[in-house]
Amino acid sequence: MKVPEVAVYNLLQERNILPKDGFEVATPSMHDVRKTNCHPDLMSCTANVMPNSNSLLQKTRLPLGLLVHPFKDLSNLQVIQSCSIVRCRSCRTYINPFVVFVDPSRWKCNICFKANELPSDFCYDSTTNTYIEPHKRPEVKVATVEYVASTDYMLRPPQPAVYLYLLDVSFNAVETGYLSEFCEILIKELDRIPGDSRKQIGFIAYDTSVYFFNLSDEHNQPQILCMPDLEDADIPCPDGLLVNLEESRDIVLDLLEKLPAMFSNNTEVGSCLGTALEVAYKMMTSTGGRVTVLQTHLPTVGAGALKNREDANERVSKNIQGMGPVTDFYKKLALECSAQQICIDIFFLNSQFTDIATISCASKFTSGTTYYFPGFHRATNLAELRRFRSALTRYLTRKIGFEAVMRVRCTRGLNIHTFHGNGFVRSTDLLSLPNVNPDASFGLQMSIDDTLESNYVFFQAALLYTSSKGERRIRVHTLCIPVSSVLSEVQASANQRTIISLISKMAVDKSLSVGLGDSREALVYAALDIMQAYRASVPQGQRLANQLLAPQSLKHIPLLVLALLKFMAFRIGISTKIDDRVYAMELCKWLPLKQLLLHIYPALYPLHNLTEEQVCVCEDHVIRPSMTSLSSHQIDRHGAYVMDAGSYLYLYLGSAISDAFCAHLLDVRSFAGTAEGYLELPELDNNLSLFVRKFVEKLNHKRTVEAPLMLIREDGKLRHMFYQHLVEDRTESSFSYLEFLQHLQKEIKV
């Protein structure tokens, strides 16, 4: 194969390398236009041209791996209901657009290259009662399909949708006001929770005791049962704790309306989260399902009790302690839950150390998700309140898959050896997922074991799950990548977005196993190796001593590695709470690529130079302003900027911003009249106001959790929240972007 010539950059001279719309999406080039890969948001590889041998891969110094977002929400998913699901009899690959039809009755597998017979009914179209050619079947035309599976894919009858909520009701929890907020949202969304007529629901509350709620309709109102003995935790009654939602809907609503008042005067300050989880496991072991935990402080009593182990004096050190779990209680419980198809999701709403590193093991090994709302308070922290409302609403109503497994197959000669993400690894290519949700992604590291003889390699991710309606389904994604023996072709087709995501996952593992200092050093060496390998591939006569060369496909690697070094998960020299750091590491492991990139290298948009034509909104169509680099040199004291940092949006105002801008956007006379903090933009009758409001809506469009808008003043107390994201600047403990480039150039030995 031959790739087009690409531009080569001397990064030391051309440092402003951001494209207008951010980091571009790289996709493999397909020579046959009839054959379409799955969307890169669903599956992408670090190499859009695969090196044909391990020795060639080593020359590039590029990491090799995949990102898979298997259950992503899709608006045009091709669903196939057929008597026979066609798979390779040898490797069990599903038929896909890249197979070869030997003749009308046989096909050759693109993974193992074995020939297979087609079922007699494969070419029969039941909608038209006619026979069609095999390549016109939808599973052969589309690279992402979903099958409605037969009973052959079931080990037991499909489980019902079962939801159990564990609610912290200690004094600290009641004081935050979260319980009232939770109950109000659940009442509002109760009828939108996924499931069919078998759907079940239950609640457990806990402080230093565990409280059960009998919701059976024989009592006509909820009955509360208290279990103060934490040593011998057990279920107080066999029935009524998990009830059919349709049959007990009125009693459930009654409980949700009364719950906040039940514990409004609670003075217990302890938390027995571990005991509550043990009881939840016993309640759900026969059915499986989803456990949702809302926790506001450190568990202090009962099983899994923890102590505060954060040392504020060590927050700026490179030898951070406490990033790993202090006990294996939550991991062991999680593995037991996973075996019974029970998933645990945790919402942390804490203002003090809660030991996310330890407790989150309950989510990590059950394919659950950890949510974090630091400093949550219903009355005083409106930004976190907005995030919590958005996250909980999405969480309650999004699509869900139960008792799932995901297997990733690849062409012979390639080997998958490491999974990244939340789940239990059953074997090298099989991941057990008690629940699967559309907001979680996974990473896989690979190696090349044998020389690749074919012109293409293939990857197929197959997700088998039970839908909330009780159907067994299989979602299949197939990716095709060309193979080359030419070093320059492999380098020119590197996918730097996917590379950075995979490197971040590897860095998390290294931080937890050998320490943050070694992990940061490995990140620097990753950038250095890639740049040095490229320089070695350039003819010697074209190398100059004062150059740091990179092709289009690798030009952002140093910038994004520097951004990782300054990301909350890996930064040093800035006081960072352990919970904040650990949560940032969790995001690296499971957050989908586009969202992760915004956390690592936020998007910065100047607003003050927009023309009247640019701010004109036509039928809700908003033209996105051009991005600018994350450098204080780009920040004008006469300017205004919107920064999209993933979890938050910031509106930064320079102290010399014009009075007209403040009046038209914020309805205040001047900069002096602006107030820092959470901001709801006023609806004013002018183009600037309409444009910015629509632009903020566009940034939040399709985001799983709404990012609240925070107003930051140049002279304000919150300015550090904005400036910490200017990753191209120098700090006391880290390079500027120019200094980092100079360091790489100095260290390159070629």
Domains and CATH numbers, the chain: 1-26+494-601+727-750 (1.20.120.730), 36-159+400-480 (2.60.40.1670), 162-397 (3.40.50.410), 602-723 (3.40.20.10)
pLDDT digits (tens, 9 = 90+) for 532-557: 999 999 888 777 778 899 999 999 99
Residue 513 to residue 519: CA distance in whole angstroms = 9
Alpha-carbon span 393 to 385, nearest angstrom:
12
| Between 163 and 575, the higher pLDDT residue | 163
pLDDT, average across residues 594-620: 87
Longest CA–CA span in the chain (Å) reads 88
Q: Are 82 and 147 in contact (CB under 8 A)?
A: yes
Query: What is the per-residue pLDDT for 354?
Result: 96
Mean pLDDT across the stretch 552-566?
95
Q: Which residues contact 319 (CB under 8 A, 6 or more apart)?
A: 515, 516, 517
Q: If we measure between CA atoms, which residue out of 90, 85, 142 comes closest to residue 119? A: 85
620-642: average pLDDT:
91
- The radius of gyration of the chain from alpha carbons, rounded to an integer in Å, stands at 27
pLDDT, mean over the chain = 92
Distances (CA, A) of 81 to 124, 514, 745: 13, 49, 57
Neighbour count for residue 749 (Cβ, 10 Å): 7
Which amino acid would we find at residue 685? D
250 touches 215 (CB < 8 A): no
Dihedral over Cα of 734, 740, 742, 744: its sign:
positive
First to last CA, the chain: 28
DSSP 690: H
Q: How confident is the model at residue 450 (pLDDT cuts 50, 70, 90)?
A: confident
Contacts of 351 (CB under 8 A, 6+ apart): 176, 374, 375, 376, 377
Q: How many Å apart are CA 445 and CA 271, to the nearest integer?
A: 39
Calpha distance 27→42 (Å, rounded): 12
- Residues contacting residue 740 through CB under 8 Å, at least 6 positions apart: 558, 562
* Of the candidate ranges 326-330, 359-363, 514-518, the one whose mean pLDDT is the lowest: 514-518
SS3 of residue 328 by DSSP = coil
Element containing residue 521 per DSSP (H, E): helix 516-537
Confidence of residue 31 (pLDDT cuts 50, 70, 90): low
Structure confidence at residue 33 (pLDDT): 41
Whole-angstrom Cα distance, residue 685 to residue 664? Answer: 8
Distance of CA 88 to the CA centre of its chain: 32
**Alpha carbon distance 239, 283 (integer Å):** 10
Asked if residue 419 has pLDDT above 50, the reply is yes
- In the block, which residue shows the tokens 């109102």? 221
Q: How many CB atoms lie within 10 A of CB 267?
A: 8
Give DSSP secondary structure letters for 621-675: B-PPPPPB-SSGGG--TT-EEEEE-SS-EEEEE-TT--HHHHHHHHS-SSGGG--
**The residue to which tokens 């695969």 are assigned:** 50
pLDDT tens string 479-520: 999 999 999 999 999 999 999 999 999 999 999 999 999 999
**DSSP secondary structure string, 288-316?**
-EEEEEEE-S---SSTT-------GGGTT
Angle between helices 578-590 and 593-600 (to 10 degrees): 140
* Selection from 189, 378, 168, 185 nearest residue 293 by Cα: 168
Instruction: Measure Cα distances from 599 to 34, 569, 588, 603 in Å.
Output: 36, 10, 9, 9
CA angle, residues 376, 379, 383, in degrees to nearest 5: 50
Mean pLDDT of 609-616: 82
Q: Is 79 helix (H, G, I), strand (E, B) or coil?
A: strand
pLDDT band at 34 (very low <50, low <70, confident <90, very high): very low
How many residues comprise the chain?
A: 750
- Helices and strands of the chain, counted as H and E runs: 20, 32
Is pLDDT above 60 for 407?
yes
State the Cα–Cα distance between residues 197 and 477, nearest whole angstrom. Answer: 31
Distance, in Å, from the CA atom of 723 to the CA atom of 721, rounded to the nearest integer, reads 6
Average pLDDT of 463-471?
95
Distance, in Å, from the CA atom of 464 to the CA atom of 486, rounded to the nearest integer, reads: 38
Q: Which range has the top average pLDDT, 233-242, 637-646, 699-708?
A: 637-646
pTM value is 0.94
Highest mean pLDDT among 150-164, 383-397, 731-745: 383-397
- Which of 663, 675, 658 is closest to 717 using CA atoms? 675
DSSP 452-473: --SSEEEEEEEEEEEETTS-EE
3-state DSSP assignment of residue 578: helix
Q: What are the C-alpha distances in Å from 149 to residues 76, 271, 687?
A: 19, 43, 52
Place of tokens 């044998």: 450
User: How confident is the model over 96-114, as a mean pLDDT?
Assistant: 92
Q: How much is the pLDDT for 1?
A: 47
